[in-house]
Amino acid sequence: MIYNSTRNNEQKAEAAYAIAHGISKEGGLFVPQTIPALTNEDFKALKGMNYVDRAKYILGRFLTDFTEEELEYCAKGAYLGTFDNDQPAPLKALDDQINVLELWHGPTCAFKDLALQILPYLLTTSSKKVGDGKKTVILVATSGDTGKAALEGFKDVPGTEIMVFYPNDGVSAMQQLQMNTQKGENVYVCAINGNFDDAQTGVKTIFTNDDIKNLLAENNMDFSSANSINWGRLAPQIIYYVSAYLDLMDKGEDYLKDGFNVVVPTGNFGNILAAYYARQMGAPIKKLICASNNNNVLSDFLKTGTYDRNRDFFTTISPSMDILISSNLERMLYELTGHNDKQVAAWQDALKNDGKYTVTEDVLAKLKDLFFGGYCSEENTSKTIKNVYEKYGYLIDTHTAVAVSVYEDYKAETGDNRPTVIASTASPYKFANSVLEALGETVPEDEFDIAEKLSAITNTEIPAPIAALRTAEIRFNNVCEKDDMNKVVLNHLGITF
Ligand SMILES: *Cc1c(COP(=O)(O)O)cnc(C)c1O
């Protein structure tokens, strides 16, 4: 399988190169030249497999330069013994129609674990293949969940150093605590005075700065990315959508006769893009329902064809979706323009320079055919948590609530009654404060009293990784200005400049 850059079709690389480098030289994202198709025979074979083998099978189609042994090493390392039930992505039916894909059974209680438990294996395997023997420096911009999941995945992985930047006032107290207590000898955590987009722009700027890259090279180091711009992050996310389809088959042939919809609470557009790829591989997914919070740049885009980030940025109770620049949309546009690298590059330039661009009528029509975009206010997010709990006795977090609310809007608008998979992206205990408040309860001062009260009221268990934070040592307490991120990185790496 050959990978191109979304901004340069002349750039051709194998998966190992794409994963080891994270981003293409001119700033584009790596994309597979073709999407491999799964036949009915493939699906039949996959049906009988556990998650590790499903992962191997599906990744094998994309990472054709990996050996069977390498794939096995990566999939087993990532998914055996690391999730709380050895079933990384269980599907839970709420009723005949709604199936919740629980993606928060990993070590950091958010869906990012599904990709970030395997990325270190993919990355170190890739680096060996590309064979430059350099130390890999992982830079991460996070709206909360990626940072912790990346730290957990990369801690003490030989040959790597990981540095995480998060917006100072843009993550939940629990998320902040999770990151600042991170163990490991090769980890570093820093808050920035700015929002997530500032952090992401800072990281991208460092990645593409030739002076800094040269400094690293002189010191036998190289940057890579654990953000979903890295193909090694995105590919593993395809697995659970195919897996959800296989699990839905248990309900009988009739159940899936008209296919199913997928609803994804969306920020950087990585998770929903993985659902799109699963669809292109052959999973019978009909509508891709893209749910935003008050930062509704995507739902406007899907309605009008104009992507315009010139708008107020809101800090919400679903902070992992507080994003105005959805990086992975670039890959979607590359697909929908028939791999038109010049066009995609021009739009990304306009986004950088003017903060907006407008796609062609043709692309907009295709987007509307594939996607439904909606958004959910803060008030409705809270109401949805309460309603779902009262109706089904099922507790959801603030991000999943955004998805459920937009799904209800979609159904009211279209009358589409197909079976639906709702991606549940975080444990409610990661956002216990907002969840407890949504249930109409008074919220104690202390984070752990909040979790305990939530547990007592709803008769659900506090996930072990969150309970363990109570006694964990705080290891980081760093804050920097957004314009100083490059200095912080070089200083930490001991590089003089
Ligand atoms: C990251 C995240 C999202 C957004 O996912 P994208 O792939 O960035 O669109 C949604 N919910 C939670 C809990 C997250 O951590």
Q: Which domains does the chain have, with CATH numbers?
A: 87-110+232-469 (3.40.50.1100)
Q: The pTM is what?
A: 0.94
Q: Clarify whether 112 is annotated catalytic.
A: yes
Q: Which two tokens stand for residue 44?
A: 């039949």
Question: How would you classify the pairing of strands 3-5 and 30-32?
Answer: antiparallel
Predicted confidence (pLDDT) at residue 79 exceeds the cutoff of 80:
yes
pLDDT tens, residue by residue, 393-450: 999 999 999 999 999 999 999 999 999 999 999 999 999 999 999 999 999 999 999 9
pLDDT tens, residue by residue, 459-476: 999 999 999 999 999 999
Q: For residues 133-151, give the mean pLDDT.
A: 91
100, 397 Cβ separation under 8 angstroms: no
Nearest atom of ligand 1 to the alpha carbon of 144: 15
**Ligand 1 residue neighbourhood (C-beta within 6 Å):** 110, 112, 145, 228, 265-271, 320-321, 399, 425-426
Q: Which residues contact 471 (CB under 8 A, 6 or more apart)?
A: none
Closest CA to 172 of 383, 447, 424: 447
Lowest mean per-residue pLDDT among 68-82, 167-181, 182-196, 365-379: 167-181
Helix H, strand E, coil C: the string for 393-432 is: CCCCCHHHHHHHHHHHHHHHHHCCCCCEEEEECECHHHHH
DSSP 3-state of 96: coil
Predicted confidence (pLDDT) at residue 87 exceeds the cutoff of 90:
no
Nearest atom of ligand 1 to the alpha carbon of 104: 13
Which one of the listed residues 44, 92, 112, 213 is annotated catalytic?
112
Mean pLDDT of the chain: 95
Residue whose CA lies nearest to ligand 1 atom number 14: 320
Count CB atoms within 10 A of the CB of residue 272. 27
Q: For residues 151-157, give the mean pLDDT.
A: 95
What is the dihedral sign for C-alpha 426, 115, 34, 8? Answer: positive
d(CA 44, ligand 1 centre) in Å = 30
Nearest atom of ligand 1 to the alpha carbon of 399: 11
Q: Which residues contact 117 (CB under 8 A, 6 or more apart)?
A: 77, 78, 79, 82, 106, 107, 149, 152, 153
d(CA 267, ligand 1 centre) in Å = 5
Q: How confident is the model at residue 119 (pLDDT cuts 50, 70, 90)?
A: very high
d(CA 472, CA 69): 37
pLDDT value at residue 497:
78
d(CA 227, ligand 1 centre) in Å = 11
CA torsion, ordered 290, 75, 94, 146, to nearest 10 deg: -50
pLDDT value at residue 415:
98
d(CA 264, ligand 1 centre) in Å = 9
Task: Describe the crossing of helices 51-62 and 40-47 by its angle, rounded to 10 degrees.
Answer: 150
134, 213 Cβ separation under 8 angstroms: no
pLDDT tens, residue by residue, 227-286: 888 999 999 999 999 999 999 999 998 999 999 999 999 999 999 999 999 999 999 999
